[in-house]
Structure 1
Amino acid sequence: MMSTRVFVAITEPEFARLYDAEAQSRLRALGEVVHGEERDGRVPVPHDIATQFDVLITSWTTAPFPPEILDGPRLRLAVHSAGSVRNLFPVATLGGAVRLAQGGADAMALAVAEMALALTLAHLRNVVWHDRRFQQSRDWKAGGFGVLGQSIAAQRIGIVSLSRVGRHFVKMVQGLGATRLRAYDPYTSAESAAELGVELCSLEELCSTSDVISIHAPSTPETESMIGADHFRRLPDGAIVINTARAQVVDEAALLKEVQAGRLRVALDVFTNEPLNPDSEFFGHENAILMPHVAGGTVQARFAQGAHVVDEVDAFLRDGTLRSEVTTENYHRLG
């Protein structure tokens, strides 16, 4: 009987960040593991992948490849160690002999929710504002001594999408005492939201009645520029907008105008064009916290991603099951 062969199209440094010693050992126990050679910071997928290997493992450092090379007599599974699969696997690759699993998103969801919570608290307690003023002036009063922050428990919190990340965020703010939670999510039933302690409403109503808006929606044709100028105008003065999801979900130009006007406080981890241009007008505003797309990046999340991939490969080889399979039905809704 032919032994299982696994091709890993990930650079060595990234593989070490994703797969700890235990995960690497478990993966090797499943069959022969072959690591591709790095070229210009990426690892190409061999054109004979479908005839020589049973499993393909990819990540951020996998070089783009023509999807037709996946068609062949041997390859049966591809597992992506990172988040969205769209950059490597077009929807047309689904439904054939090769099944696809998203091995990284579940693991990153908790880390992204943590960052959304951290950014919310940073604005509510003026953390960045105090730090900037205090470090620049080195003066106790100029640093904001006596300026009062706000409690998260007292806020009306709106969640855009009760996705995996959105649900983690809900539990976190509830753990800190927040009770007035509403959400906009056309894919979640009122009963399911109520079980989480969340009330569903329209996006317009959500913006009109929230002190904090945390965005957790994926980028799809339906969500592109879903939150625009009218929605931002509905937010009360001083409201906080957190986006750790995808920049395409908001009208970035409209949001920038609100930042420049100083009416809203924002915390952004994602931008339409990344890396963010050094000349971007988002820079230089006291009411804006800017992050270089790092919300999902914790040591623990990365290792959890690798462990999840090994779990998927193991289950598939044993009985053909997948916990995080990408299908034509969920493809466009996965972040």
Structure 2
Amino acid sequence: MAGSGEQRAAAGPAGGPAVTPPTGARRPVTVVSVSPALRAQFFPDRVGDRLAAATDATLVDDHAALTGVDLASVLARAEVLVTSWGVPRLDAALLDRAPALRLVAHTGASVKPFVTAELFARGVAVTQAGQGMARSVAEVALTFTLALLHQTPRFDHALHAGAGWRRAEQAPPRHEILGCPVGVVGASRTGRAYLELVRALGAEVSVCDPTLTPADAARLDARLVGLDELLAGSRIVALHAPTLPETRHLLGARELALLPDGAGLVNTARSWLVDEAALVAELTRGRIDAALDVFDEEPLPTGHPLRGLPNVLLTPHQAAGTVQGRRRQGEIVVDEIVRYASGRPLAHAVTPELLARTG
């Protein structure tokens, strides 16, 4: 229907040819609430073909259509809902319109913004594709790490601002990653992927995570320490912790003051973890550097003080957006739907208990 952006997925979300589903496989009625631009990234070529083969899918361009009348007949039959960022909360009112729903498959990582207790109470399973994002975000965190060690943001800002050559050359001491003390806060999927990358380049890694034992850390080839010790002893601190009540402003003014002069803070995780006002104050003094992909207010206002600081590297919350990562996310979603349709356990299920302790 033209008003809802609804389309039948007769030939696959990417427009490729339809393919035959596996012998004996069931094709659950599925609503794919993902914008056309994101569908092209998550479900290109054969990934899209697999989705079309595995499901009887209706494509929805705009999440708003889920609460409208045009999709009523499709939602009433839908067993699977594929979601992306910005999907409305799946509350009782919306779920009443989808009585057959049995699986929500999220193309992103955190489902906290839209998953409700009502969903679990009705026996609906939830899965997500965060594992597909881990490598992409870890590589950006590594890029940030190297940029801060080599003072790239300061050089770049100086040259773009028209500073003279001698002035542009001036920067704090630069360091290699070989032998560098790197602290990782949170041994999440992305934290572990980042840890593997920096260890491969010779960094000396410490990790702070209350869910780890010293033996767990040893298997990661890292030293398990408390937060204060990690902050005081690291040249680079990379944040990969979840969004929990206890991690709100995990790094405030007191914690940021523990960082050594010339240290760098890398945050590709969540702005929730850092008191942004305290960070701006510390960065304004020029004592430390930072590389940030996440912010309290997004889009980041053009007049925000972070935009004018020469010792800060900024990206617009795009650390996960690689071609390969997006494709992996789509593949995970399709794999999970196939598992559901064949009666096998989900590989990336989100339970109420897991949701309570992760971001």
TM over 0.5: yes
Question: Quick one: which amino acid aligns to residue 323 of structure 2?
Answer: V
Whether 1:44 and 2:66 are equivalent positions in the alignment is: yes
Output the CA distance in 1 between the equivalents of 2:235 and 2:117.
38
Alignment of 1:1-335 (within 5 A): 4-38=28-62, 43-44=65-66, 46=71, 51-70=76-95, 73-103=99-129, 105-137=130-162, 141-144=166-169, 149-178=174-203, 180-335=204-359
Q: Offset at 1:73? A: 4.7
Q: Say if 1:95 and 1:65 are closer, same or farther in 2 by CA, change over 3 A.
A: closer
Q: Say if 1:49 and 1:64 are closer, same or farther in 2 by CA, change over 3 A.
A: farther
Question: Quick one: which amino acid aligns to residue 153 of structure 2?
Answer: V
Output the CA distance in 1 between the equivalents of 2:72 and 2:113.
18
Q: Deviations over 1:92-140 (max 9, x none)?
A: 422532101012x111111111111101111111222222333444865
Q: Does structure 2 retain, via aligned residues, the 8 Å contact 1:70–1:98? A: no
Question: Quick one: which amino acid aligns to residue 327 of structure 1?
Answer: T
Output the CA distance in 1 between the equivalents of 2:172 and 2:276.
30
TM-score (norm 2): 0.86
Q: Where does structure 1 lack aligned partners over 5 or more consecutive residues?
A: none
Q: Does structure 2 retain, via aligned residues, the 8 Å contact 1:95–1:327? A: no
Q: Does structure 1 retain, via aligned residues, the 8 Å contact 2:90–2:119? A: no
Q: Does structure 1 retain, via aligned residues, the 8 Å contact 2:105–2:127? A: yes
Q: Say if 1:145 and 1:225 are closer, same or farther in 2 by CA, change over 3 A.
A: closer
Q: Does structure 1 retain, via aligned residues, the 8 Å contact 2:293–2:314? A: yes
Q: Does structure 2 retain, via aligned residues, the 8 Å contact 1:275–1:292? A: yes
Output the CA distance in 2 between the equivalents of 1:92 and 1:186.
30
Output the CA distance in 1 between the equivalents of 2:217 and 2:65.
42
Output the CA distance in 1 between the equivalents of 2:148 and 2:84.
33
Output the CA distance in 2 between the equivalents of 1:64 and 1:277.
27
Q: Offset at 1:271? A: 0.9
TM-score (norm 1): 0.91
Question: Quick one: which amino acid aligns to residue 104 of structure 2?
Answer: A
RMSD (Å) for aligned C-alpha atoms: 2.3
Q: Where does structure 2 lack aligned partners over 5 or more consecutive residues?
A: 1-23
